[in-house]
Structure 1
Amino acid sequence: MNNHHQTIIIGAGAAGLFCASLIGKCGQNVMILDSGKKIGRKILMSGGGFCNFTNLDVRPSHYLSQNPHFVKSALTRFTQWDFIALVVERGIAYHEKNDGQLFCDNSAQDIVDLLEDRCKKAKVNIQLRQQIDSVEPIENDPNVRFNVRANGIDWTCQNLVIATGGLSMPALGASPFGYKIAEQFAIPVIPPRASLVPFTYLENDKIFTALSGISLDVNVSVGNQAFRGDMLFTHRGLSGPAILQISNYWQPNASIKIDLLPNQSIVDFIMELKATSPNMLLKTALSQLLPKRLIDLWIEYQRLAIGNKALAQLSKVDFNVLSELIHQWQFQPNGTEGYRTAEVTLGGVDTQFISSKTMQANHVQGLYFIGEVLDVTGWLGGYNFQWAWSSAYACACAIAESEI
């Protein structure tokens, strides 16, 4: 067995597989090491099993990082249109959902098969069920820079690519391995935390568990950042696309503001109804716009004490209370559901110490970081997969020393 490869990639996820296929296509000797039983496990779980593989509108502003300019070069060099072209060439049927999100028609397996076939054609050596014991630098040899011990076997390489992802979804093999490698080589790590993740209830808000399963179109905001979309009441807290999006920007102990009727002024609606139906009860009027279960719960727990008033009885103060409750609900999460359900990890390898053009560590020749392990977090909607493709491409071009 040849224990030397020009490039070893640790991680058989989206970024690692794509990077390997590109480097191998250029004739280089590439091996992937992964701890799992099969490749692309997170891809298969993504998008409800249909993989939201990119978005029609990808901009740097869709990403969070301590170094916000870092993503620009890679996203420009390999765009969403470049990956869509590969999907079309492969004959994968796909469709657009909300806000430019692209999903496979059939299954996320289509994307895994695309990547696997590209790796096979490029003669990439994929080794699964590999427990990495250690990574050590080799001095004074430009052709053999690293020794990787896996399952008790030593492998050497010139280039080492860390594509191990973040801490989200530990059941799929997520681990802090990539962060430990960065720290081993004196590269700082921005403290990671779960993101694109549901919120949990404080004790006082656990009354809302009775609304589990109800979904509303809302506008949620934290500071100057706002998102419009569905919000879902669950047994544990609030979820849904709008909540996942705002979780990227939420800080512990902060509140989020929720507008339950972003398309309509509740005051204008009630005033108009009052002119024609002055004796209608407020709770009856509200049930035309919001779920009756929500209104009944507000009344039961004294959060809408005026619910049994007739519209004609409502005062200016009542209208202010009503407007604040519906358009400016201040919801303070107890926390999040954590990495177990988080789609991504916020934070990661500090990009100030990584080249934005090559993904190589600035002070460690031949060591590269790609994908989610870096301090780059995209919005919900295919942006994190696009970062995987784009960062993998930048890395592969650097290792192949040409545009691929």
Structure 2
Amino acid sequence: MPGPASGPVEEALAALPLVDHHCHGARTADLGPDAFASLLTEGRARPGSDVSPFDTPAGVAVRRHCAPLLDLPRHTPAADYTARRAELGWREVNRRFLTAAGVEVFCVDTGFAPHPVTSPAQLADASGGAAHEVVRLEGVAESVAAAGVGAGEYASAFRAAADSAVRRPGVVAVKSVAAYRTGFALAPERPAGSEVTEAARHWLTRGGRLTDPVLVRHLLWTAVDLGLPLQLHTGFGDDDIRLHRADPALLTDWLHLIRGTIPVLLLHCWPYQRQAAYLTAVFEEVYLDVGLALHHAGPSRSRAILEEALEITPFRKLLYSSDAYGVAEFHHLGALCFRQGLAALLQERVDADELSLPDALRIAAWTGRDNARRLYGLPAAGSSPPRPFCD
């Protein structure tokens, strides 16, 4: 948990059990220095280069804020940090950081696993919290294609597979990475069946990842039909994304067409948090978070990112996520950056008499926990436990 608080809002956020509404698993292997460093960046680490992932805001934040949890001094050198990590072993490292994050519920995207990582159940066990699953729909579609299906049967086969996936115990949402595959400058209308069949014919012939714009549109409309909250990656990501196509404002026409259907969660958003805030202000079903950017910017800039996100966003529309993947340090660091950044901006508004203290405390609880509980149907504290996730 974060260090000593300096005001009532800081104290409340330091003690608040968070809901991390979008994250991934942590590595289940001991990592050498190069493997660990490669997970500190969204870019490509180049061993032997003089550009080290440790020499970034995220790398500096890890050495400052994560080192003490490994019994190391603040600002410990990178070599000492990775050596201590290896000495403790991955299970103990994960346990320490996941526990320190102070997260009571993780909503875990299980569709991205280029390395062996913890399952939702393992994440919950290591943290002492609970975990639920978020189903990535592109993975479902690609599994349908890999299993063998005719072009004319693709649409119904995909819908059946998606229906089956979301009925698994512990599933609370679906997700799309359309931002990576096509970007959001798509025709907003639901594609006709004949269009889907023709696009499927081309895709099934050539194989590979789902990148056809018609089939991505079909996937998004299938998500609407499924009825669960839909998470959409927007903005910042690895070098597979074309950032100018990941601006959530490009979704405006589609959002008009799906009014009154499902909650749409705009993930991460940076540097488009202001565009995302506009969408939350004008579309009842749209919500946002600024996860991923927080731990990559570090605690010193988290407040500024959150402040821009909250310029016009309704307070019931902002959620917390870490989008942590690979290293459990990011589960902890994301939570720390969120707590410190939000506490600083809310406390300043209280001190300036722009917010009452009760309002600030409500906003802190809504954003860190209660908005996600409401959207995903998670039980409130003190009620019956969430449905167990089954591996």
Give the alignment's TM-score, normalised by structure 1.
0.26
The higher radius of gyration belongs to 1
Higher strand share: 1
Normalising by structure 2, we get a TM-score of 0.27
- The structure that is helix-richer by fraction is 2
